[in-house]
Structure formats: C-alpha cells, structure tokens
Amino acid sequence: MIEVTSGWYMSLAAVLFSIGLLGILVRRNALIMFMCVELMLNAVNLTFVAAGRALGSLEGQVSVFFVLVVAAAEVVVGLAIIVAIFRRRESASVDELSELRG
C-alpha cells in the first residue's frame, strides 16, 4: 500500500521550484519571468505546508501567509516597474534592457 508522505509533496515542490528557476533562465519576457518567481514562491509554500504536516507544526502554515504577503507586495512593485517601462518602450522584453553590461 503506497502512502503519500509529505516527502512526495516536497519533492513535487522541488520540481516546481526548479521549473520556475528554469523559466528565469530561458525566458526574456519580464512578465513571464515574474510569473516564474511566483511559481517558485508557491513551491516554497507547498514545502512549508507539507513539512509542517510532517513535523506536526503549525508554523509552516503560518509562514505561508507571510510568503503570500511578500509575494503580493512584490507583485505590486514589480508590475509597477514593468508598466513604467512599458509605457516608455512598448515592450516587456528585458533583452532590450541590456545597455548596462561588461
């Protein structure tokens, strides 16, 4: 009888986190990259919840709220930046923002 342990969830979270990272590495649309960050944060949340269950601790779930708040704040600022850029250059591709290098 296979039982789903919290390890399963955490493994899934790890996969999701990795996918998120992969997205950062291969995409150049700021919005998509930002969504990938959200993906990573969600993976973290899943880890928190699953670990909390396995450990019998509520702290994991509480932490999720804070991650959520942070994510929300980031979204606000991040989207503001993206909007500000878009208003000037009509593109969300960060590749066009590569004057600073070397």
Residues 41-100 that bind another protein (CB under 8 A): 41-89, 92-95, 97-100
What character string, x for contact with another protein (CB under 8 A) and - otherwise, covers 9-48? Answer: xxxx-xxxxxxxxxxxxxxxxxxxxxxxxxxxxxxxxxxx
Residues in contact with another protein, total (CB under 8 A)?
98
Of 101, 102, 77, 82, the C-alpha closest to 93 is 82
What would the two tokens of residue 102 be? 């070397």
| Residue 15 C-beta: closest distance to another protein, Å | 6
DSSP H helices in the chain: 6-26, 30-55, 59-89
| Residue 65 C-beta: closest distance to another protein, Å | 7
Mention every residue, 6+ apart, whose C-beta is less than 8 A from residue 71.
38, 41
Residues linked to residue 93 through DSSP beta bridges, in sequence order: 29
| Residue 53 C-beta: closest distance to another protein, Å | 5
